[in-house]
Structure 1
Amino acid sequence: MSRRKIFLIAPPFSGHLHPLLGIGEALREIADVRVLSTPGAARACQLPFHPILPQHEQSVWAIAEPGKDVKSNPLLLYRQLKANIALLGDLKAELEALFCQEKPDLIIADFTVPVAGIVAGEMGIEWWTTVPSPCVFETVDGPPSYFGGLAPAETSLQELKHALMRKATRVFKRSMHLLFRRELQAIGFPAIYRSDGSEAVYSPHRTFGLGIPEIEFPRTYPQHFEFTGPVLYTPPDDVHDPVFATDGRPQILITLGTHLPHAKAGMAQTMREIASRHPEIMFHFTHGSRKAKLLPGTENFHEYHLVSYVRHVAKYDLVIHHAGTGILNHCLRHGIPAVVMPLDYDQFDYATRLVEHGLALRARSHADIEAVLLQALADDALKARCQALKVIHAEQDGAQYISGLVAAMA
C-alpha cells in the first residue's frame, strides 16, 4: 500500500506550529508529510517544508502582535479579523494550486487556518483540525471563553449570565461575518455556523483538542470533537542552556511565551527587582525570542533569548507564566507548580482552570508576584496536586493518538 501524503498547515507562531510539527514527527514513519507555513517557520521545521504567503510574513506577525493587549476588545478583534481576511484570498489561491498539483490524501490544519479546510472540502480531500487551546471551542453549555476567565456557574443567575455570554459570542461572530460577507463568501465561507450549529472553521469530521479533559470544566462537546492529549514538541535549537544553581536553591523560570513583546520588558524588570531581595532563589527569565535585547544578569537573575521547555522545565521548582497552553502543558507533564498571570487571549481562561483545579496560584498584577511566588514555593499541597496530575498527563500523547488514527485509515 502506498504511503499517504499529508499536509500539515499552521501559522508560524510556536503555540500553533510546534504541535503540528510534533504530529508530523510522529507521522513521518508511516506517511509522506509536508509542513506548510510562512517562510520564517522553516527554521523550526525538521520535515519537508513548503512556504506559503511569502510576501506577507510581516503582515501575519503584525496580526498576532498588535503592540497592545487585545483581550475581548471588539474594536481590536475587528481590526485583527480585517487584517486576517485581507490575506485569505491569496492564501486560498496558493493552496488551491498546491493541492491540485500535489493531491494530498489528508490535510491537518490548525484552527486558525480554516481556509485550508475550505479548499480541502471543495476538492474532496479529508480535513482534520487541531485546537491547541480546547477552551476556545464553543459548546452549548458551560462557561464561555474570552470573558476574563470564567469558572463554572454555581447559581442560577450565573448560569443565565453564561448563557447570555455564549449568545453574545455567537452574535459577535455573526456580526463580523456580516461585515465581511463579500470577502468571506468569495473564498467559500458563506456562514460562520453550519446548519447543525457547528462552527465552520472546524472540521466536521475530526477536531482535536490538544489537551487533557482533566483540567477542563464540564461542557458538552459534539461527536466530531475529541481530546487527544497535548503535543509537547520543541524544535531542536542551538541556544545556550541556562545556568542552574548547584547549591540547592529553588530555581524559578519566568516566561510569557513568544507573543506580547510589549509586556516582557516590564515583567523582566519586576522579576529583577524581586530577585535582588531574594538571593536565596535563582531566577531565569526567557524572552521567547532570538531578537530580544538581553540586559546583564546578576548573581541570581539571568535573562535568556530562549529556554527549551522540553529540555529544562523539569529542572525548575516553580514556573511563573502567562497560562499559555505550551508552557502550561510542559509544567503539568513534569508536575511543576506555577504562578500564573494571564495577559491576553485565552490565557485568562486557562489561568482560571489551573487555579480552580489547584495546580497554580494567581498573581493579578506585578505587585502580587513576590508574595505569591513565595507562597507557592512553600505550598506542599500545591506540589502534591501537581505531582498527582503528572501521572495522568503522562498517559495522554496527542501526537501518538493522531498517528494511530492515520495508521488505522482504510
Structure 2
Amino acid sequence: MIADFTMGAVGPAADAVGSPWWTVHPSPCAIEGRSGPPSYLGGWRPGQTPLGRARDAAGRRWVRAFKRVAPRLAGVRLSDVGLTRIYRDDGSEAIYSAERVLALTPGAVEYERDLPPAVRYVGPVLFTPPVEAAPPDLDPALRHVLVTAGTHLPWHKQALLDAAGQAARSLPDDVRVHVSLGSAVAVAPPPGVVVHDYVELCPRPAPLRRRRPPRRGRCARPHAGGGAAGGGVAGGLRPVRPRGAPRGRRRGDPAAAR
C-alpha cells in the first residue's frame, strides 16, 4: 500500500491487517531530520557557524515539542485514526512509513538534514488533472512570466494581482505577466497582466511525461509547492522568490532550499 503523507490512518490500518505500506511525500523538507534547519519556522537556511548550528538544533527541539502538544491544543485525539504515538523509538515520525518514504523532489535541491534511512529521493512526479481550459496563447515575440499563489483566499488573490501589476509596470514592454488564480474570478487585470483560472505552461502528452517538456515561459514565480516547483524544474523555468513570499504554514522551507 502506498499512502499520501497526509493520510495518517493508512499506516495503522495497514499494520492491523499485516500489509506493508509506504509513504509518498511531495515536500520532504517537512520530514524531521537529525541535523540541519527544521521546517515550519519560516524557511531557515542551514547554520554555517557554531551559533547557527545551535540555532538549528534548538529549532528542531522546539518543533518536536510543539508536535507533542499540538493535538491537545487542537482538541483532537490521534488514537481516533489509530496513531498511538507521534514518534517511534528511533525518533522517526510514526505518521510516515518506517520501510520507505518516496520523496518527490530531486535530492540535489534539498538541504542535507540526515533524514530517516527510509527516505528515498525519486524526483518529481508531474500530473495535472484534466481541465477544459485551452493552453494559453503565448505570443512568441514576447517573454512570459507565470505567477501563482497556491491559495483560495480572496484578499490574497487581489494582493497578488496588485503586486503583479506593479511588477509589470517596472518590466520591459516585451514582458507579459500571467497570473493563475486557480478558480473563476471576475477581475479587471492591471495593464501588462493576463489572468487565468488554471494554466499549464508545459503541456505534454501523458506518455511523454518523463521527457523534458517544451519551455513556454522564461521564469515562474511559484508559491513553492511541490508540484509547481517540480513543473518548473521539468520545464527548465527559472524560479523567482520575491521578498515577503511565499505565504503558508511551511512554504518558506522549500522556497529557501530552491
Alignment TM class, shorter chain as reference: 0.7 to 0.9
Residue 311 of structure 1 deviates from its aligned partner by 1.3
Identify unmatched segments of 5+ residues in structure 1.
1-106, 355-410
What letter is aligned with 1:335? Answer: G
Residue 115 of structure 1 deviates from its aligned partner by 0.8
Q: Choose the corresponding residue for 1:253, options 141, 146, 153.
A: 146
- Aligned mates of 1:202, 1:174 — CA distance in 2: 16
Cα distance 1:194–1:317, how it changes in 2: closer, same or farther (>3 A)? Answer: same
Residue 346 of structure 1 deviates from its aligned partner by 2.2
Question: 1:302 maps to which residue?
Answer: 194
Identify unmatched segments of 5+ residues in structure 2.
205-213
Residue 170 of structure 1 deviates from its aligned partner by 0.9
The answer to whether the Cα contact below 8 Å between 2:103 and 2:123 also exists between their aligned partners in 1 is yes
The answer to whether the Cα contact below 8 Å between 2:2 and 2:24 also exists between their aligned partners in 1 is yes
Cα distance 1:122–1:309, how it changes in 2: closer, same or farther (>3 A)? Answer: farther
The answer to whether the Cα contact below 8 Å between 1:233 and 1:310 also exists between their aligned partners in 2 is no
- Aligned mates of 2:177, 2:99 — CA distance in 1: 45
The answer to whether the Cα contact below 8 Å between 2:34 and 2:114 also exists between their aligned partners in 1 is yes
The answer to whether the Cα contact below 8 Å between 2:8 and 2:81 also exists between their aligned partners in 1 is no
What letter is aligned with 2:79? Answer: Q
Structure showing greater radius of gyration is: 1
Q: Choose the corresponding residue for 1:156, options 50, 59, 69.
A: 50
Q: Choose the corresponding residue for 1:231, options 101, 119, 125.
A: 125
Query: How many residue pairs get matched?
Result: 245
Point out the structure with the larger helix share.
1
The answer to whether the Cα contact below 8 Å between 1:232 and 1:310 also exists between their aligned partners in 2 is no
Look up the SS of the partner of 2:182 in the other structure. coil
- Aligned mates of 1:135, 1:232 — CA distance in 2: 18
Look up the SS of the partner of 2:224 in the other structure. coil
What do residues 180-226 of structure 1 show as CA deviations (whole Å, max 9, x unaligned)?
78722243211111122111110111111111110111121222111
Which residues in structure 2 correspond to 1:319-338 (within 5 Å)?
319-338=220-239
Cα distance 1:331–1:265, how it changes in 2: closer, same or farther (>3 A)? Answer: same
- Aligned mates of 2:181, 2:74 — CA distance in 1: 36
| 1:317 matched to 2:210 | no
What letter is aligned with 2:185? Answer: A
Q: Choose the corresponding residue for 1:264, options 150, 157, 173.
A: 157
The answer to whether the Cα contact below 8 Å between 1:294 and 1:305 also exists between their aligned partners in 2 is no
Query: Which protein, 1 or 2, shows the higher relative CO under an 8 Å CA cutoff with sep ≥ 6?
Result: 2
Question: 2:240 maps to which residue?
Answer: 339
Question: 2:111 maps to which residue?
Answer: 217
- Aligned mates of 1:153, 1:296 — CA distance in 2: 42
Q: TM-score, normalised by structure 2?
A: 0.86
Q: TM-score, normalised by structure 1?
A: 0.56
Cα distance 1:280–1:182, how it changes in 2: closer, same or farther (>3 A)? Answer: closer
